[in-house]
Copies of this chain bind each other. A is one copy, B any other.
Amino acid sequence: MTDGYHHGNLRAAVLKRAAEVIEEEGPHSFSLRSLAADLGVSHTAPRHHFGSREGVLNAIATEGFLILAERLRDNREAGGDFLETGVEYVRFAVDHPAHFQVMFTPTLLNARDPELAAARTAAFDELVTGADTVAEAAGDEPAAVVGGWSIVHGIATLALTGNLDSSGVRSLFGDADLIDITRRSAGLLFASPSPRE
């Protein structure tokens, strides 16, 4: 379908390239014009698919929430407990660092986008559902939900921003990868020993 004039699949190409750029340089320095140049199209071509720069970021966030919701659902249906839900959360952040960053930076997004709102709600509902299975045992159910979410969100955020490394804390774990670190750290929250396979 690429005829020299029409790109063929510009929307998907923009999302893919945008995620690469954001992963490398952060969302603030991502430019529609240099993105279009990378893809060999004019600087206004992406506007026909996304409307604006904010539209691209909204699309990335929406895509991210949909992927996260799907992963959490798959994990729940496969019988994964709450700790495994948290591990899956961190794994998503590692696999899709650009999406994760954009999803949780609301100043980059248009909160009134209904598609984004729906995708976010789906992911958050799945997260809280996963928490309910263990929250009753913790004595303080709301605290268990916030604690579980916060600890894995904190691990993901600190790891992605490099602060786990620059603080020297990561080296305390030797050569353990981030998933192992997550199991050991988040495992403390509910005093359930971390399963290692």
Contact = CB atoms under 8 A, between A and B. Distances in A.
A9 interface: no
Given A105-B161, A173-B142, A147 B186 contact: yes
Given A29-B107, A157-B154, A184-B140, A169 B145 contact: yes
Interface in A133-153: 138, 140-147, 149-153
A51 interface: no
Given A28-B27, A157-B157, A166 B128 contact: no
A143 B107 contact: no
B143 A187 contact: yes
A8 interface: no
Contacts of A106: 161-163, 166
Given A144-B188, A157-B153, A168 B29 contact: no
Query: Which one of A25, A138, A151, A161 has the greatest number of beta carbons of chain B within 10 Å?
Result: A151
Q: Interface SS of chain A: helix, strand, loop or mixed?
A: helix
Of A161, A164, A194, most B-chain CB atoms within 10 Å: A161
A50 interface: no
Interface residues of A, number: 53
Given A105-B26, A107-B26, A189-B189, A149 B158 contact: yes
A186 to B, nearest CB: 7
Contact of A151 (B26, B141, B150, B173): B150
A196 to B, nearest CB: 12
A169 to B, nearest CB: 6
Interface of A: 25-29, 104-108, 111, 120, 124, 127-128, 138, 140-147, 149-155, 157-158, 161-164, 166-169, 172-173, 181, 184-191, 194
10 nearest interchain CB pairs? A26-B107, A154-B154, A150-B154, A142-B172, A147-B185, A143-B184, A28-B28, A153-B154, A124-B167, A151-B151
